[in-house]
């Protein structure tokens, strides 16, 4: 699953509400953005991570590639949600084939799925010479879930060369663009349309991830119903594009009423992390995904969780031509690009 050192590939983030295509070039100063494309998807094309309208998704994907980079073939994709399990284990330091066998044995013992039904991979996060222990990140993806996305990529005329998880792609984008403070516990929260990815960073290192089956869809559905909006206008409201034309008090009340499941899931995830990581507090939240653009949502989460919230800018340390964004303001849409940026920075041999 994890790309190794070598050439960079095109990051392809297929979200529930849109497809993002990003290609970067490694430079002596960091990264340079070479290709960027965003294509909106109909709200019912993908529901609960299940591709309901396969032909529409493929058509929009091919249209996006034809529009921004017809030569694109090899892509890195991200997956998340109920079909993916991540876990981190601490075990005796081992190397070579012995180490790999020991890691895979542990992975088989921990996977909630039958080992024959999943694709397993791992990454060594940290090695302690003092304790002779190593921390290993395990990832398991259900084969049926994975195959659905891979088949779609192949049928669109593309070749998937890296499969990552959305949460780890967000962490990758964060590493590229921010100085990680080892004294601060940070939560990276990527709020998508139906899934929210959490990645916790502690002691300057990746600690753990968690996916929540809650996102912006509940807000979208409630706003559309309460304000009697068309799907297009409801989507624009989520991005803050027409919110000023609506009653602000009613919009805020609607948001609060529709965020209960999301907030509850975040509170449980934070409580579990603090217990398992023996961390008394989470010091900082960096918010990305479409949820970062929803009016009042970042402020509401900050007040509910009582933790400072910063809006992510995954373009912060990346060189780019502003004209590439057309009429869009780069910093305005930057939070939407976190997964795509992280995928585009992956490398293959």
Residue 223 scores a pLDDT above 80: yes
* pLDDT for res 32: 92
CA distances to 71, 146, 270 from 161, rounded to whole Å, are 16, 13, 33
pLDDT tier for residue 349 given thresholds of 50, 70 and 90 = low
CA distances to 60, 165, 205, 307 from 152, rounded to whole Å, are 12, 17, 34, 39
157: Cα within 13 Å, side-chain hemisphere: 12
How confident is the model over 309-334, as a mean pLDDT? 89
Total domains in the chain come to 1
* pLDDT for res 143: 87
pLDDT, one tens digit per residue, over 44-72 is 888 877 788 889 999 999 999 999 999 99
Whether residue 235 lies inside any domain: the answer is no
Whether residue 310 lies inside any domain: the answer is yes
CATH number at residue 131: 3.30.420.40
Whether residue 39 lies inside any domain: the answer is yes
Is the pTM higher than 0.85?
yes
* pLDDT for res 152: 92
Whether residue 246 lies inside any domain: the answer is no
Of 45-54, 204-213, 314-323, which gets the smallest average pLDDT? 45-54
* pLDDT for res 129: 79
Q: Which residue has the higher pLDDT, 28 or 56?
A: 56
Residue 3 scores a pLDDT above 60: no
Whether residue 244 lies inside any domain: the answer is no
Give the N- to C-terminal CA distance of the chain in Å, as an integer.
13
Domain that holds residue 54: 7-220+254-348
């Amino acid at each position: 699953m994890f790309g190794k050192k070598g050439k960079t590939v095109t990051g392809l983030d297929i979200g529930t509400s849109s497809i993002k295509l990003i290609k970067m070039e490694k430079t002596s100063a960091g990264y340079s953005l070479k290709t960027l494309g965003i294509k909106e998807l109909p709200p019912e094309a993908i529901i609960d991570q299940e591709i309901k309208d396969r032909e529409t998704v493929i058509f929009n994907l091919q249209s996006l590639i034809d529009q921004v980079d017809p030569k694109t073939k090899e892509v890195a994709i991200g997956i998340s949600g109920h079909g993916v399990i991540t876990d981190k284990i601490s075990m005796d330091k081992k190397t070579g084939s012995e180490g790999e066998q020991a890691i895979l044995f542990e992975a088989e013992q921990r996977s909630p799925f039958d080992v024959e039904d999943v694709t397993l991979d791992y990454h060594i996060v940290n090695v302690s010479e003092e304790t002779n222990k190593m921390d290993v990140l395990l990832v398991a993806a259900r084969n049926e879930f994975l195959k659905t996305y891979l088949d779609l990529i192949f049928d669109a005329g593309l070749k998937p060369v890296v499969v990552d998880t959305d949460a780890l792609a967000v962490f990758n984008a964060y590493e590229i663009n921010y100085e990680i403070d080892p004294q601060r516990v940070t939560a990276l929260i990527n709020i998508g349309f139906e899934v929210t990815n959490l990645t916790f960073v502690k002691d300057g290192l990746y600690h753990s991830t968690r996916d929540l089956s809650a996102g912006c869809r509940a807000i979208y559905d409630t706003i559309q119903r309460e304000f009697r909006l068309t799907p297009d206008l409801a989507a624009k409201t989520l991005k803050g594009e027409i919110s000023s034309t609506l009653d602000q008090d009613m919009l805020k009340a609607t948001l609060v009423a529709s965020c209960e499941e999301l907030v509850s899931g975040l509170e449980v995830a934070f409580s579990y992390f603090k217990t398992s990581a023996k961390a008394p507090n989470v010091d900082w939240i960096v918010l990305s995904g479409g949820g970062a653009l929803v009016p009042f949502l970042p402020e509401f989460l900050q007040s509910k969780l009582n933790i400072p919230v910063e809006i992510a800018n995954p373009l912060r340390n990346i060189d780019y031509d502003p004209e590439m964004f057309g009429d869009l303001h780069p910093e305005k849409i930057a939070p939407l690009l976190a997964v795509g940026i992280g995928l585009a920075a992956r490398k293959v041999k």
